[in-house]
Chains A and B, each alone.
Chain A
Amino acid sequence: MLLRHTPPGLSERKALTVNPAKTCQPIGAMYAALGIHSCMPHSHGSQGCCAYHRSSLTRHYNDPIMSTTSSFSEGSSVFGGQANILEAFTNIFTLYNPDIIAVNTTCLSEVIGDDLVQIIKKAYEDKKIPEGKFVIHANTPSFTGSHITGYANMAAAMVKYFAKSTGKKNGKITLIPTFIEPSDMTEIKHIATELGIKYIMYPDTSDVVNSPMDGHFRMYPKGGCTKEQIAASGDSDAAVAIGRLGAFPAARQLDTQCKVPMHIVDVPIGITATDNFVEMLRKIAGVAVPESLRKERGQLVDVLCDMCQYTYGKKVSLLGDPDILLSMVQFCKDAGMEVLHVLTGTPTGKVKLEERVRELYGDKVIVKSGLQCDMFMFQQLVQENKPDLIMGNTYCKYMCRDMDIPLLRIGYPIYDRIGQSYIPLTGYRGGMHLLLKILSIFMDRQDRDAEEENVELIM
């Protein structure tokens, strides 16, 4: 047994986290910053933060993840990191020539109390930032929230620094996705395009962290939202926060700053959530749903109806991040599956994760979120009531192996499989991928476990 020390039953804990179901803010901020075109994410803290975040994102995406660091020494920890970051700006603009540097803080620089607003102001005054170049920042203390909070904070910083209202609307809709994969972002853009909507989307990591291999390394791949587009989002007709926890702060900032009316919608995973997303866009933009999307939807419904004998009543436990979890739970409901457990280490804030899961599954489902809600707890819950399938990140593989439960890899991080960069979960087409994966898991199990006389040729 790999996890041989996890006792049965729930262990009461108030101080100790074991096998976390979240990570820290800065990595989310770094990921969001990669969604700006020609931007160098910069980690204001010790070298290790940046090294760990880059390594983790690199392993998840199998693609270059570029980010610089203020390389704090013991001296900077005592005297503050201003000298380090000013030197960093010079080196970054000289050597790597980005259009924008997006700074995230760390627990270290937050504890020291470095005032990034003042420091950036000084950098402009001292001409450390060349003409036409920009530095933005987000406060991302690791001791509050999680990687999702960090992502949300950096997305909001993009608005704060760049969005401008000229007083003249541009007829566009601003789409702000939560922490989702580049493939999911592409799929969301596909839906908007099919609907004939003019949109601006940020953060947009598609074509950044899933760039093609053509013999050239590009420090700033072709993807990412440009500063000009983010600026123009201040003139958009409406903004849609896709996933409350990760996207709401940016959308609210855009509303406050530029009076762009804001809508919140769940991440479009599965039929219901995608329907809701399409409905919302359709109504905001005043457009009709085209044949192409009807067809995508119809095909997904077709497969679901044809095959729901393999999903109906199957028991599922889910671990991940709140925005994705909500939509995944809805998808399980769509497919007739029964959700036993939903767990996230991320504090859910106003997402109302538990209430919304209960709306679908009543009192029986166990929903856990926040401090000490970790994979150790998840394993204990799963040991008590074993599901047919676990959906979660790579780290779930240890408990899944111990208990012989199949794992569908969803969320962050996925270190041991590929595909998340290219194959979406969002939209009707993503729903199809998701459904096919789930069907394969259940049907492979049936083939493996059936008595010899019950092995079916036709399924």
Chain B
Amino acid sequence: MTNKYELPIAGEQFRDEVADAYSPKLGKKRKRQILVNQIGGDGTVPEILANTRTAPGILTMRGCAYAGCKGVVLGPTRDILQIVHGPIGCCFYAWLTRRNKTRPKTPDDPNYMPYALSTDLQEDEVVFGGEKKLMAAIDEAVALFHPKAIGIFSTCPVGLIGDDVHAVARAAEEKYPGINIFGFSCEGYKGVSQSAGHHIANNKVFTDVVGQLEMKKEGKFRLNMLGEYNIGGDAFELERIAEACGLTLHSTFSGNSVYDEFASAHTADLNVVMCHRSINYLAEMMETKYGIPWFKVNLVGADATAKSFRKMAKFFGDDELMKRTEAVIEAEMVEVEKVRNEIRPRCEGKTAMIFVGGSRAHHYQDLLREIGVVTISAGYEFAHRDDYEGRKVLPTITVDADSRNIEELTVTPDAERYNPRISEAEKAKREAEGFAFNDYSGMMPDMPDGTLVIDDCNHFELEKLIEYYHPDLICAGIKEKYVVQKQGIPMKQLHSYDYMGPFAGFKGAINFYREIDRLLNCNVFKFTKAPWDDSPELSATYNN
């Protein structure tokens, strides 16, 4: 997809002028994080600096490791009872705010998602240690909720006062042998963003949950979907499509999921990875330990969804499955194309900017492109180089002090349960035929030459982008939303969508087209300018 987009003011000029506003040191660093995209003949893209500290005092879009661990990865699971160990705030802010939907199968099935549990650490406990209170909180939680699993999430002070949540978890497990209890050292100061928390979550889920239960769901084509968090019902839509195609979704990490599905995820035959940034670790480790192959999918955008489901069908290599998948795609695309054709003329040629996440800034470009909207600048909030440039750069990524502090697990094949779903030879054969495994080619190769790629974009730069390029639409987070909208530019919040959804899959694509149509073409933003703004004073006075 090498095409070119000519920005009205060259990206290089933008980069240099923005960098000049910073201190020389910071400006130099930001110049390595603000790039003009250029795809070389061999598909190479420029090297970007990513997953690096945000300068203090910068109005950043980023959050913390706790948010990545508790909020993103574990939050969407309904029957792991989650206790936040720390002062009250962290528990409060992560309480239902990400719009992860869940659908218990019966009225009696556990659903702890509307419950926010905290040890509400007080000064005494900060001084004398909070482990006793945590243990007491676990006792009370067990008595009230009778969960089959408990996750404990550490907040900033926990690490500093030396509370060992893992020791408490072990002691609690001895006391309650039927309950799987595990702790996450996801203190907010770890790493440089939410990303550290994703990794910490992946590690613990891998060591303490996956593989704990031998349960196989019925079905010939069983797979796990990793990195889909059911925001606004995205996972519901993907479950619907998977079922229609004849795929058995063994588990989703972690939208609309339950503990047993996690615990038995090692019995599935394929992992597909949706949000590469937040969960690629788990996919890699499951392949090494259990022999489950994985590949990247994109289920945002109708065409991308079709492509991804085709790839899943192709992986299993079953004619019937492939036929059924084609039939589903054909049926679904009728409505998709109808709506697309209706909306596209109204959106064609409009420009957008996207600054979110570790995958969404990439995925949503597909959706926008489907209705003719060009993304002229994009960047991730907390991604790494591989999310920009592709996994091929993984061996060349330098590990800095902040990343080194996040444990990298050494994984070996499971003595009994390692079972390569396809042989090395078969894998190599398929790869030679162009079927990519363990792949992610990154965002930059999919963006036109000349567009701006900005890692960890901040408020100042966003303001400058608006000043330089006047985009028609901006997609970012809730903190940026009203800054943008005050200027009369519509803004789509793409972390939790704020309202509505799903945006994934076929029905999601239709919802998104309609949403963007509304944002770009609804009259309301035209009122930001009052009729008298252009001629503030009348030349005469009228008394009557």
Contacts and interface: CB of A to CB of B under 8 A. Distances in A.
Q: Contact size class for A?
A: 35 or more
Contact of A76 (B23, B96, B189): B189
Nearest to A347: B122
Contacts of B328: none
Given A66-B59, A87-B55, A215 B119 contact: no
Interface stretch (B169-177, B412-420, B482-490): B482-490
A47 B92 contact: no
A289 interface: no
Interface string B102-145: 00000110111011111111110110000001101101110111
A268 B122 CA distance: 32
A351 interface: no
Nearest to A11: B144
Contacts of B63: 47-48, 51-52
A99 to B, nearest CB: 16
Interface stretch (A105-113, A168-176, A305-313, A445-453): A105-113
Given A15-B140, A24-B87, A371-B122, A108 B56 contact: no
Contact of A23 (B92, B145, B488): B92
A163 interface: no
Question: By CB atoms of chain A within 10 A, which of B26, B108, B136, B144 has the most?
Answer: B144
Given A16-B140, A398-B114, A69 B156 contact: no
A52 B90 contact: yes
Contacts of A91: 22-23, 26, 55-58
Contacts of B56: 68-71, 84-85, 87-88, 91
Contacts of B247: none
Interface size class of B (residues with CB under 8 A): 35 or more
B89 A26 contact: yes
Contacts of B54: 47, 71
A52 to B, nearest CB: 4
Nearest to B466: A217
B119 A46 contact: no
Given A15-B140, A73-B402, A142-B87, A55 B479 contact: yes
Contacts of A111: 126, 156-157, 160-161
Nearest to B122: A143
Contact of B67 (A17, A51, A54, A58): A51
A387 B64 CA distance: 40
B91 to A, nearest CB: 7
A89 to B, nearest CB: 7
B28 interface: no
Given A15-B137, A92-B57, A55 B193 contact: no
B441 interface: no
Given A143-B121, A217-B483, 16 more contacts: A5-B144, A5-B145, A47-B193, A48-B66, A49-B89, A62-B482, A66-B59, A74-B189, A74-B402, A77-B156, A95-B57, A108-B157, A108-B160, A108-B189, A215-B486, A216-B486
Interface of A: 1-5, 7, 11, 13-20, 22-24, 26-27, 42, 45-56, 58-59, 62-77, 84-85, 87-92, 94-96, 106-108, 111-112, 141-144, 146, 211, 213-218, 345, 371-372, 376, 395, 398, 415
